[in-house]
C-alpha cells in the first residue's frame, strides 16, 4: 500500500505537479493550486498545527502520512515535511489509496 502511494508521489513529482516545503505549499494554497496535502508524521507539532488549520480553513484535504525521510525520498528531495499535490487526478488517486 505505502509503495503505491510513494509511487504516485514520485510520478507526480516527475510530472511537476507537486509543491514541497512549508513556504512553497502555503504560497500555492493561497493561489488555490493545491488539491491535497501530505504532512509527515514527524513534522514539528507547531508547523503541523499551522498547516492543518489553514487546510481546514481552505477546505483542502490533508493526510498525515510517512516520515520526512520517506516522503522526501519518494519525491527525490531532502528534508521535505510537507508535500502539496497540485493535480486533481494525482490527488484523487493518492486519496483513494490512503482511505
Count of the separate structural domains present in the chain:
1
Residue 6: give its domain's CATH number: 3.30.1330.30
The grid cell for 92 is 484523487
Residue 15: the pLDDT is: 96
Domain extent at residue 83:
2-98
Q: Are 84 and 34 in contact (CB under 8 A)?
A: yes
Q: Are 84 and 59 in contact (CB under 8 A)?
A: no
Each residue's pLDDT tens digit in the chain (99 positions)? 788 999 999 999 999 999 999 999 999 999 999 999 999 999 999 999 999 999 999 999 999 999 999 999 999 999 999 999 999 999 999 999 998
**Cα–Cα distance between 1 and 22 in angstroms, integer?**
26
| SS3 label, residue 82 | strand
CA dihedral angle for residue 20, residue 35, residue 65, residue 42, rounded to 10 degrees: 40
**Cα–Cα distance between 65 and 46 in angstroms, integer?**
17
Amino acid at each position: 500500500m505505502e509503495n503505491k502511494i510513494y509511487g504516485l508521489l514520485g510520478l507526480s513529482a516527475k510530472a511537476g505537479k507537486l509543491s514541497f516545503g512549508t513556504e512553497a505549499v502555503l504560497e500555492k494554497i493561497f493561489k488555490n493550486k493545491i488539491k491535497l496535502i501530505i504532512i509527515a508524521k514527524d513534522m514539528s507539532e507547531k508547523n503541523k498545527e499551522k498547516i492543518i488549520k489553514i487546510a481546514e480553513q481552505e477546505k483542502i484535504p490533508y493526510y498525515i502520512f510517512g516520515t520526512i525521510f520517506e516522503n522526501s525520498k519518494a519525491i527525490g528531495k531532502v528534508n521535505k515535511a510537507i508535500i502539496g499535490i497540485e493535480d486533481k487526478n494525482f490527488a484523487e488517486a493518492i486519496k483513494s489509496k490512503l482511505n
